[in-house]
Amino acid sequence: MSEALRLEGVRVVRGGRTVLDVSSLRVGIGERIALTGPVGSGKSTLLLAAAGLVDLAAGQVLLFGDLFHAGRAPGLLALRRRLALVAQEPCLFSTTVRGNLAAGLTYRGISRQERDRRCDAWLPRLGLEDLAGRSASQLSGGERRLVALARALVLEPELLLLDEPTTHLDRALLPRVETLLADALPPTTTVLMATHDAAQAVRLAGRVLSLEDGRLEA
Ligand SMILES: Nc1ncnc2c1ncn2[C@@H]1O[C@H](COP(=O)(O)OP(=O)(O)OP(=O)(O)O)[C@@H](O)[C@H]1O
Ligand SMILES: [Mg+2]
């Protein structure tokens, strides 16, 4: 199995306490994995570690077989651009909804034509076409979450890290987003998603992992 992500002996210490202690996690390319566990069990920390956004007290993270970690070492940027993270409390850029989607594509040097093509494709998939010109500061909490998700999806990343992507979405939107995650991504896209919704984990994931006090349960 080719690996998208691998954590070996990863330990994260916060506030003097070990909050993540993963001896081994291997995620194959194209796998869809749900990460469950009680509040404070380390789901978000694991996703941040996978995204190279926290310092590790021990261990290593490999992304597509290459060593990956927090920092600015040469080569890290190219590796980082193969993934996208939707944080649990996402911050949007101070621009329009469409501007939020376009920003990451601009940073990656993607042509204007391709930027427009991808925004035109993804805005309606998330039902955001009518909000495209609206300032991000004038969105509801649920709308902000949809934009954060769209901003990640438009990058068409090889590894998608989602931290409770459907929290605060209503009954009408939940199936739309779940269908999108199930059907609109290429089969080679790897997804690691934290969720409190056990039924959703079963619906969307081929494998469900459970964290307890920072450790993966067997
Ligand atoms: N900046 C921080 N400083 C100290 N402790 C932290 C910090 N951030 C998180 N923690 C602690 O790390 C542990 C894991 O937090 P994490 O956010 O990963 O949990 P989680 O499983 O995502 O929880 P939730 O279901 O509430 O989102 C918790 O005990 C939390 O209190
Ligand atoms: Mg969390």
> From CA 173, how far away is CA 61, in angstroms rounded?
34
pLDDT band at 170 (very low <50, low <70, confident <90, very high): confident
Architecture label for domain 3-216: 3-Layer(aba) Sandwich (3.40)
- Look at 166 and 13; give whichever has higher pLDDT: 13
pTM equals 0.95
> How many CB atoms neighbour CB 79 within 10 A?
17
pLDDT at 167 (0 to 100): 86
Residue percentage of the chain with pLDDT more than 90: 83
pLDDT at 58 (0 to 100): 96
- Does pLDDT of 50 surpass 90? yes
- Any atom of ligand 1 within 6 Å of the Cβ of 40: yes
pLDDT at 115 (0 to 100): 97
Q: What is the mean pLDDT of residues 56-67?
A: 94
- Does pLDDT of 79 surpass 60? yes
Cα dihedral angle (61, 36, 87, 79), rounded to 10 degrees? 20
pLDDT digits (tens, 9 = 90+) for 119-164: 999 999 999 999 999 999 999 988 999 999 999 999 999 999 999 9
pLDDT at 208 (0 to 100): 96
pLDDT band at 186 (very low <50, low <70, confident <90, very high): very high
CB 21 within 8 A of CB 214: yes
Residue burial 24-60, b: 16+ Cβ < 10 Å; e: rest: ebebebbbbbbbbbeeebbbbbbbbbbbbebebeebe
- Does pLDDT of 39 surpass 90? yes
- Does pLDDT of 28 surpass 70? yes
> From CA 179, how far away is CA 164, in angstroms rounded?
16
Which ligand sits closest to the CA of 87?
2
CA of 211 to the centre of ligand 1 (A): 12
CA of 218 to the centre of ligand 2 (A): 20
- Does pLDDT of 1 surpass 70? no
- Any atom of ligand 1 within 6 Å of the Cβ of 151: no
